[in-house]
Amino acid sequence: MNAVGEAPGERITVAVVFGGRSSEHEISCSTAAGVLAAIDRERFDVIPVGITRDGAVTLQPDDPERFRMDPNAMPSVQDNGTRFLWPDSAASREVSVREADGTIRALGTVDVAFPILHGPWGEDGTIQGLLDLIGLPYVGSGVLASALGMDKHFAKVVLEGAGVPVAPWVTLTAAQWAADEERAMARARGLGLPVFVKPARAGSSVGVTKVKSWDDLESALRIAWAEDGKALVEAAIEGREIECGVLSGRAGGEPRVSLPGEIVMRTREFYDYEAKYLDADAAELVCPTEIREGELREMQRLAARVFEAIGCAGLARVDFFLTDSGFVVNELNTMPGFTPISMFPKCWEASGIGYRELITELIELALED
């Protein structure tokens, strides 16, 4: 297939996939609102594919306003009775919908998928495996990189092996705690206080707790285990919270890294779910932020190293702590928040690529592979 731009008169059909079964369902819907509103309609036709909380794959209205973020009424994919039908083999790009009354209607061919799912059952390689199975190009990383990026424990293992500095951590399961609570506690105590407790496979700071007393560790672990069977206990790192966006290079070129953004906390102790999405006064996203020239080069070098070590494609956001002794990688996001005011698009806008152009670039990268 020709990449976008090689056949100027040919329109491209994009299946925008959003919603999903994870606790980040609403965030995915909000991201979809941004993409649906900004995608270049002169070049792309859109099929909105919404996945409900129960995993029903539906055809949704092409209406960005339906999925806008509203702290008082969070958006979601409602089951309207339709079922979106993927191509039945890798030999076809034909898609259709089974309407609520059971009739089947052809939707034509789809050229590329844009899966903007966050969290498990979407960002973790599952939807990527489905798309690989039916031979449909898609935006973003493949199965392995998506799975690695979603699992904070194994991402740290890979990055540490690649020589990338990461925060010290231990990983604990409920079974390990039940079998030998004293040993599990001793492993955590080796990190010192305070620590952050996180689900291994969740995003948007869901299930994250800052622990200042060991008496609170078990309750924090149980909050994290409610999201995932593994929990990370991480040493708290003192430093500025710096983030940047990464894009694949064209034609196999080197990854491209944006200017840095910074999260500046105002009213909350750390950048939790409420600060990100519900409390507009909790934090300020500063992009671009001021860092020294040498720090900028080192951040961009490390971000590209993270991207390549995990095996990412398309896009990623790399989150750092900038400490007195240098950068420490906090997390990698293979499908970062993508609303117009999210850090990933803001960093690229500061670097010269606007939101609509960024969407086009990602689609072109997917079709180039």
Structure-token match 């010290």, residue found: 168
CA distances from 127 to 117, 146, 228 (A): 9, 10, 19
Task: Report whether the peptide linkage leading into residue 137 is cis, meaning its omega lies within 30 degrees of zero.
Answer: no
Catalytic entry in 141, 277, 349, 351: 277
Structure-token match 């339709």, residue found: 82
Cα angle 113, 116, 121 (rounded to 5 degrees) comes to: 100
Catalytic entry in 256, 337, 342, 355: 337
Main-chain phi, psi angles of 31, to 5 degrees? -60, -40
Rg over alpha carbons for the chain, rounded to the nearest Å, is: 21
Q: Is 317 a catalytic residue?
A: yes
* Separation of alpha carbons 243 and 319, rounded Å: 4
Catalytic entry in 227, 228, 272, 319: 319
Catalytic entry in 241, 317, 330, 364: 317
Neighbours of 223 (CB within 10 A): 17
Enter the tokens of residue 347. 């960093």
Catalytic entry in 23, 30, 141, 204: 204
Catalytic entry in 333, 351, 355, 361: 333
* Separation of alpha carbons 127 and 135, rounded Å: 12
Q: Is 65 a catalytic residue?
A: no
Amino acid (one-letter) located at 215: D
* Separation of alpha carbons 239 and 290, rounded Å: 14
Main-chain phi, psi angles of 67, to 5 degrees? -115, 15
Q: Is 333 a catalytic residue?
A: yes
Catalytic entry in 228, 241, 272, 331: 331
Q: What is the bridge-based pairing of β-strands 44-51 and 12-19? A: parallel
Q: Is 301 a catalytic residue?
A: no
Q: Are 283 and 268 in contact (CB under 8 A)?
A: yes
Residues near 159 by beta carbon (within 8 Å), at least 6 away in sequence: 166, 306, 309, 310, 329, 332
Q: Is 331 a catalytic residue?
A: yes
In 205-259, the DSSP E strands lie at 209-211, 230-235, 240-247, 256-257
Backbone dihedral region of 247: left (phi > 0), alpha (psi from -120 to 50 degrees) or beta?
beta
The torsion defined by the Cα of 203, 207, 212 and 216, in degrees rounded to 10, comes to -160
Report CA torsion sign: 197, 201, 203, 207: negative
Amino acid (one-letter) located at 5: G
The catalytic residue positions are 24, 204, 277, 317, 319, 331, 333, 337
